[in-house]
Structure 1
Amino acid sequence: MSAHEERDALTPAPAALYDQVRRLLHTAHGGTPPRRGFPLPPQPASGAEPLPHEDVPRVLAEVLTPLPRGAAELGRRLAPLGLDHSHLPRLRAAVAALPLPEEAPEGRPEQAAAALARELVRTGTTESAVAVGIALLGRFGEPGDVRYLTALGLYREFTDGAVRALDRLDRRRAAAVWLVVRARPAELTPLVHALWTGDPDAVREELGVLSPGPRFLPAEVARRIAEAASLPDLLDRHPDDPVLLSRAARLLVRGGSSRDGDTALLAFRDAPALYERVVARAGLLPPTTEHHATLLSLALDLSSGAAVLLDWAPGRRTALLEALGRVLAEPRWADAAVAVSESGPANGEQGLRARWIRRTGRRLFALAAAPRALRIEVVAGDPVDREPVETRILVDGRPLVPALFPWGPAEEPEALLDSRALRAGEEPHEVRLAEAYCTEGCCGALYVTVRRDGDAVVWENWRRPCTPPLPPGVPAEPAALRFDAAAYDAEIARAEADTVWSWPARTTGRLIRAGLVARPDLLGRWDARPGWISTGFDDPDTTVVTFDHAPGLAAGTPDGIPLQFRWIIPDDGTPPDTRAAAALCRLAAENPTTYADVCGGNRARAEQLGFTWPEEL
C-alpha cells in the first residue's frame, strides 16, 4: 500500500450533509432550528479551476448524460468542475431543464433519476452533489422525500432549491422551511417556531399578537405564513374568532401588495379559498378604520389587482366583490369612516386612512361591472401601508401588468396619463408600463411600443430588460394587442381627465409639475431643473418638490455634479390650485435653493457651492 493510499484509508469518510443537519437539529433548543437556519459545513477545496457560470448548463448536461449509476460516479464527474455555492442557481436551472435520456441504467428514466436523487440527498457529502439531488427531487420527488428536503433546506445554501422541490410535494413544510431561513424580522421568531412545530393552537395564539404592518409582513412572508398555517383550515376550526379573521385578512392584503410585486399572491394556491372564508365572515369584524381599510384593500385586489388572475370558479370573484360592497355599505361601517375623516388632518394615521376610505370606496363600488376591451383605473392603495398609486391597465377585465410583469406595480398616473404617454400618435413610441419594486436596474421593467394602425391602436414589441426567470404562466413572448382606435382614444381621454382618485396634496404636486413643464424658465433661471414631484412618503398630506442645481445646469454645461434639493409644502387647507399657483409664483420670484433643503449629491460638492450638508445623509 502506498503512503497516499494509507493516508486515504486512515482518513475517516466525511459524514453525509443530511446526517450532519439532523445532528444539528437534535441539539437545537426544543428541536426547533435557529433563526436563519444553518450554514453549510466547510467544504474541502477541490483544487479544480472554477467552472465559468455561463458554462454550467452545457457542462452539467454532459455530466448527467448518461445518468450516473450512483453518487460515487456523479462525485467523480463533478470533482473537476470546481463548483461552489455561487454556481447553485444555474445548477438548479440546468437540472430543471435537463432532458432525460431515452434509456436509463435501471427501469424508466424518471425512476432512475429519482433513485439517484435519493441517494444523493441521503448520502451526499459535497455541496454540488446534494444540490443536484435536491434539484432532481424538484422534478421527480415523492411524499416520502419531504423529510430529507425539509432537513437539507435548513442549510442556507440549499433553501431555495429545497423549498422549490417542497412546493410541489408539501406546501406547508416548504413554507415553514422558507420562514425559518428567510424571514428577517426577529419579532416573527415565536410565530415561525409555532409554524415549524405545526401546533395549531400555538399558531393561532401567535397570529393573534402578530403585528400586521408592512414592515413585518412583506408579500412573500405573508404568503408563506398563510401556507405554513394552512390558514383556510385554521379559520374553519375557529369560525367565530374575529382576531384570527382579522389576521387572515391582513395576510391576504399583504400577500397581494403590488409594492412588493405580485408573485406572492399568484403563487398562493389557497388564495381563492382564503378570500372565500374572509369575505363570508367579514361581518364578524368590528367596524374600525383599520378593518375597513383591510376590506377595501381586498376589494381593490378583487376588482383590478393580481387577485383577478387567480383560479376562480365562474362568477365567484364578482360575487365576493359584491359581498364586500354590501358589508362596507352597512351604516355601521360607513358611519365609522365618516366620523374619523371629519375629525380633521390632525387625527394622524386614522384620519389619513379614513379620508382614503371615503375617496376610494365611493369610486370602487361605482365602477361599471361590464368589462371593456381596455379599461384604465388609477388605484391609490392604503396610505398607512405605504401602498403605491398605480395606473392599472385591464384588457378584457384582466390586469395587464401582473400578468406580464409580476415584480412591481404599474407606473404612476403622472408617468402614463399626465405625460400623455399612452396616446397613440402618428409615430410609434415606447412606453414603460411598470418598474420592479427594487428598480429597473435590479429586476427589470415592462415596456411596450404603442402605434396607430388605421382604425386600430396596436401595442407590440414587448420588452422586459433585466428581469428574473419568468414564473409559471407568464408568457415569454406576449402577443400584440389591438384596440379599436375610437374606443381606445375615448378611454385614454377619460382616464386622463379622471381625478377622483387624487387628494389635495397629490393634486397640488400634479399642478406644480404641469406648471414647470409649461414654463421651464421658472427653474431654469436658477440653474435648476425639476426632479421628482409628488407627495411625502411618510406624510402623504404634504407635497414634495425636488430639483437639481449646479451652476451652468440651465445651459446644459454644469460645472460639476448637481446637488439635489427638496422643498416640502404642507397642506394649509387652501385649494390645490391656489397652493400650486403660490408655489409657482415663489419659484419665479425667489431662488429655491434659499428655502429648500439639500437632500442628495455629496458633502464636498455642497460645501463647494456654499450649502450645508444634512447630517442625516
Structure 2
Amino acid sequence: MSAPKEHDALAFPTSLYDHALRLLRDSPGGVPPRHGWFLHQEPATGEGPLSREDARNAVGEALAPLPDDPVTLHHRFVRLGIRDRHSRPVRSAVAELPLPAGQWGAARSLGRRLARTGTTVPAVAAGIALLARFGEPEDVPCLSVLGLFREFTGPAVDALDVLDRRSAAVVWLTVHARRDELQPLVRALRTGNRPAVRTELVAFPASSRSVGSAAARRIAEASRLPELLDRHPFDTDLLARAGRLLVRMGSSRGEPTDLLDYCDALGVYDSVVTRAGLLPPTLDNAAMLLSLALDLSSGTGVLLNWPPGRRAALLESLGRLLDEPRWAAAGAAASGAEQRFRADWIRRTGRQPFKRPATSGGLRIEVVAGDPADREPVETRIIVDGRPVVPAVFGRGPAHSPEYLLDNGLLRAGTEPREVQLAKAHCTEGCCGALYVTVRRDADQVVWENWRRPQTVPGSHGPAPELPAHRFDASAYDAETARAEDDRPWSWPARTTARLIKAGLVEKPELLSRWDARRGWIGTGFDDPDTTVVTFLYVPGPAAGRPERAEESVQFRWVVPDDGTPPRAQAAAALRRLAEEDPKSYARVCGGSRERAEELGFPWPDSTR
C-alpha cells in the first residue's frame, strides 16, 4: 500500500469496498472481529494546511459543480488539500450541498461509484454521504460492508437508518457491542440464523451494565422484535426480554432519542403490556413492569406519538395487573440485600404511576426513584402541559434530584427572577451542557422563561429551536411545588437519614468546622443504598484562623449503616457523634491530595479494595 508523494490522502491499491469484502471473506465464518476494522490512515497530527472550516469550504468548492466521475472529484480533493482526516467536513458539505431534483439521479450514480470504487477515505466518505441523501435499497449491501470500517461506521449507519433499520442495527452492533455476553447474538444476527437469534436474545443479561439505551434499541431493531413476538405469542422469556429492552431504551441514564427513534416502540409496548398477564410474577418481572409504568406515566415514553387514549389504557392495564395479590407478593421471597432493597422499592413505588394521571395543562412534579438494580437515579420529573420537560427539550441527562431542586426550594417562585438548572449532561456541563430556566412571579401568575440549553439537541442535525415561555396560575403552582416538597414516599430510610444529616450540618456548620472540616457530598452508597455516606474536606488550621495549604485538602468518607431505628433518630445520633468526636478518627480518606494525606499520617485508600 503506497501513496504518490503529491497525494495527502492515503490511497489503497484497490477500492476500500473491495478491501472490506476481502477482509470479510477471510474472517472466520464470515463474521468480522469485534470493533470492525481500522484503516491505516495518515497520522492525525492536527488539521495540517486546512482547518476544519477551511476544509468544509474546500469540499464545497470541489463539489460545485458536481463532477461526472470519481476521478475528477479525487483530483479536486488532492488539489484542494482534502485529506483522510477531513472526512467529517466532507460529509457535512455533501449533506448541505444544494442539488435540484433534476440532479438527484446523477448524484446517486456518483455516490455509488465513489462508494464502490473509491480508494481514499475522502472519496468514499463523499460517496456514503451522497447515498445517505439519495440512496436506494439496492445500496444497502455496499453500505453494510463499508460500515465495518470504523472510519465509516457512523455515516454508513446514518445512511442505512433511512434505507433499512435492521441492517443499520446489525452494523452498529457488530462494531459497538463490546461486551462478551453480546457476541453470540451478534454472530447469530450476522449469519441470519433466526432460531439462534431468538435463543441468544433471551440468553444474555439485559442489565444496564451490559446494555445501554443505544444497544437496546439496536438489538430490538436487528432482531426484528415485533416479528419475533408475533411468531412466539406465548413465549414468556421473549416477552420479558422485550419489556426489558423497552425499559433500557427509556432509561433516564440513556438518551431519550433511543426510545423515540425506535419505530416499533408503540407496537412493542402494546404487545408487552397486553400479554403481561402471561408472565410469572417474579421480582424481575414486577420491576420491569413497574419501570414501564413509570416511563408511561412521566418518562420518555410519554413523548411517543400515541393514539388518543392508548397510553392511558396501557397504564390502567398495568395498574390492574400489578395490584393483583400474586404480583403484590412478588418480592416476598426476596433474598440477599440487593434483592430485598429492590422489593422495598417496588413496595414504595408500586402505586405511584397510577395515582395521578397526566393532565393536558399546567405543572406536575413527580419525584421518581428508578429500579435500584439498574442504578437508576432519583430524579425530579417536571411535566408541563402533559410532557416531561427534560427528555423533551434536553435529552443529555436526567432531571436533577429532589435534594437539589426541592429541598433547596429552587422551584419556588418569588418576585425576583431566579435562574434554575433543571438538568445537566451525564458527562459534565462543560462538555455537553445543561438545561436552565428562569422562574419568576408576575402578579397572579408564575412565568418560566429565558431557557438556556445546548445549541443542538440529540438526534437533530439542526440548531435547537427557541423554547417558549410558560405561564402557570400562581396559586396552583405554589400548591404543586409545596406538595412535591412534602411528598416523600419515594425515599428510603438511608436516603432520609442523609437528608436530615445534611439539614443538620447546614443549620449548624460548626459541628464540622470545629474539627477544621467542611461539608462535602452527603447521600446514600452507590453500591449499598442502605447506607448513608457523609463526606467532608479537611484542611488543618481554619478553626484557629490559620489555614494551612488550603489548596491541598484531604477528603474523608464516613459510612453510616442503617441500624433499623427511625431515620430521625439515626441522623440525631450521627450529628451528636460529629459534635463529640473528631470525625477524622472514624472516617476514611477517600480523595484529595495524597501527598498531604500521607504527610498528615492518614493512610491513602488501597485502590484494589
TM class, shorter-chain normalised?
over 0.9
1:294-313 map, 5 Å: 294-313=288-307
Task: Describe the superposition over 1:6-45 as per-residue Cα deviations: whole angstroms up to 9, x where unpaired.
Answer: x99xxx9821100110111111111112111111244699
Q: C-alpha separation between the residues in 2 aligned to 1:368 and 1:271?
A: 21
Q: C-alpha separation between the residues in 1 aligned to 2:417 and 2:475?
A: 17
Q: C-alpha separation between the residues in 1 aligned to 2:277 and 2:44?
A: 62
Q: Is the 8 A contact 2:597 2:604 kept in 1?
A: yes
Q: Percent of pairs identical after alignment?
A: 61
Q: Is the 8 A contact 1:50 1:81 kept in 2?
A: no
Which residue is 2:284 aligned to? 290
TM-aligned CA deviation for residue 276 of structure 1: 0.7
- The answer as to 2:540 corresponding to 1:551 is yes
Deviates more, 1:136-145 or 1:57-66: 57-66
Task: Describe the superposition over 1:351-377 as per-residue Cα deviations: whole angstroms up to 9, x where unpaired.
Answer: 111110011012222224545410000
TM-aligned CA deviation for residue 469 of structure 1: 5.6
Task: Describe the superposition over 1:376-414 as per-residue Cα deviations: whole angstroms up to 9, x where unpaired.
Answer: 000000011111100000011110000011111110111
Q: Give the secondary structure class of the aligned counterpart of 1:258.
A: coil
Which residue is 1:126 aligned to? 120
- The answer as to 2:429 corresponding to 1:440 is yes
Aligned with residue 579 of structure 1, among 550, 564, 570 = 570
- The answer as to 2:388 corresponding to 1:389 is no
1:198-597 map, 5 Å: 198-337=192-331, 339-340=332-333, 347-368=336-357, 370-465=359-454, 471=460, 475-552=464-541, 559=549, 560-597=551-588
Q: Is the 8 A contact 1:450 1:458 kept in 2?
A: yes
Structure-2 change in CA distance of 1:615 and 1:237 (3 Å): same
TM-aligned CA deviation for residue 474 of structure 1: 8.8
Q: Is the 8 A contact 1:441 1:466 kept in 2?
A: no
Which residue is 1:60 aligned to? 59
Aligned with residue 600 of structure 2, among 587, 605, 609 = 609
Instruction: Give the alignment's TM-score, normalised by structure 1.
Output: 0.92
Amino acid at match of 2:578: L
Q: Is the 8 A contact 2:455 2:464 kept in 1?
A: no
Task: Describe the superposition over 1:314-338 as per-residue Cα deviations: whole angstroms up to 9, x where unpaired.
Answer: 111111111111111111111223x
Structure-2 change in CA distance of 1:473 and 1:509 (3 Å): farther
Which residue is 2:111 aligned to? 117
Q: Give the secondary structure class of the aligned counterpart of 2:350.
A: helix
Q: Is the 8 A contact 2:553 2:593 kept in 1?
A: no
Q: C-alpha separation between the residues in 1 aligned to 2:172 and 2:51?
A: 29
Q: C-alpha separation between the residues in 2 aligned to 1:552 and 1:240?
A: 69
- The answer as to 2:149 corresponding to 1:155 is yes
TM-aligned CA deviation for residue 605 of structure 1: 1.9
Structure-2 change in CA distance of 1:215 and 1:589 (3 Å): same
Q: Give the secondary structure class of the aligned counterpart of 2:532.
A: strand
Task: Describe the superposition over 1:178-233 as per-residue Cα deviations: whole angstroms up to 9, x where unpaired.
Answer: 00001121221110111122322110010121112111111111110001001011
Which residue is 1:88 aligned to? 87
Amino acid at match of 2:72: E
TM-aligned CA deviation for residue 602 of structure 1: 3.2
Amino acid at match of 1:409: P
Amino acid at match of 2:341: L
Q: C-alpha separation between the residues in 2 aligned to 1:46 and 1:74?
A: 25
TM-aligned CA deviation for residue 62 of structure 1: 2.4
Q: C-alpha separation between the residues in 2 aligned to 1:557 and 1:452?
A: 43
Q: Give the secondary structure class of the aligned counterpart of 1:336.
A: coil
Amino acid at match of 1:274: V
Amino acid at match of 1:137: L
Which residue is 2:591 aligned to? 600
Q: C-alpha separation between the residues in 2 aligned to 1:355 and 1:133?
A: 55
Deviates more, 1:252-261 or 1:145-154: 252-261
Q: C-alpha separation between the residues in 2 aligned to 1:521 and 1:586?
A: 13
Q: Is the 8 A contact 2:55 2:82 kept in 1?
A: no
Q: Give the length in aligned residue pairs.
A: 600
Q: C-alpha separation between the residues in 1 aligned to 2:288 and 2:462?
A: 28
Q: C-alpha separation between the residues in 1 aligned to 2:39 and 2:532?
A: 50
Q: Is the 8 A contact 1:139 1:165 kept in 2?
A: yes
Aligned with residue 136 of structure 1, among 130, 135, 151 = 130
Deviates more, 1:169-178 or 1:429-438: 429-438
Which 5+ residue runs of structure 2 have no aligned equivalent?
none
Q: C-alpha separation between the residues in 2 aligned to 1:418 and 1:400?
A: 20
Amino acid at match of 2:228: L
TM-aligned CA deviation for residue 139 of structure 1: 1.4
Q: Is the 8 A contact 2:58 2:82 kept in 1?
A: no
Q: C-alpha separation between the residues in 2 aligned to 1:597 and 1:168?
A: 54
Q: C-alpha separation between the residues in 2 aligned to 1:264 and 1:602?
A: 40
Task: Describe the superposition over 1:65-112 as per-residue Cα deviations: whole angstroms up to 9, x where unpaired.
Answer: 221222111112212454455433443333323333x5xxxx812222
Q: C-alpha separation between the residues in 2 aligned to 1:118 and 1:44?
A: 28
Q: Give the secondary structure class of the aligned counterpart of 1:108.
A: helix
Q: Is the 8 A contact 2:396 2:458 kept in 1?
A: no
Amino acid at match of 1:375: R
Q: Is the 8 A contact 1:46 1:82 kept in 2?
A: no
Q: C-alpha separation between the residues in 2 aligned to 1:108 and 1:576?
A: 73
Q: Give the secondary structure class of the aligned counterpart of 1:365.
A: helix
Q: C-alpha separation between the residues in 1 aligned to 2:548 and 2:130?
A: 57
CA RMSD after TM alignment: 2.5
Q: C-alpha separation between the residues in 2 aligned to 1:393 and 1:98?
A: 40
TM-aligned CA deviation for residue 151 of structure 1: 0.4
Q: Is the 8 A contact 1:261 1:409 kept in 2?
A: no
Q: Is the 8 A contact 1:46 1:80 kept in 2?
A: no
Structure-2 change in CA distance of 1:369 and 1:119 (3 Å): closer
Structure-2 change in CA distance of 1:90 and 1:297 (3 Å): farther
1:17-96 map, 5 Å: 17-42=16-41, 49-84=48-83, 86-96=85-95
TM-aligned CA deviation for residue 565 of structure 1: 1.2
Structure-2 change in CA distance of 1:238 and 1:48 (3 Å): closer
Q: C-alpha separation between the residues in 2 aligned to 1:222 and 1:91?
A: 31
Amino acid at match of 1:596: A
Task: Describe the superposition over 1:460-506 as per-residue Cα deviations: whole angstroms up to 9, x where unpaired.
Answer: 22222486765379943222222222211111111111111111011
Q: Is the 8 A contact 1:452 1:458 kept in 2?
A: yes
Amino acid at match of 2:210: F
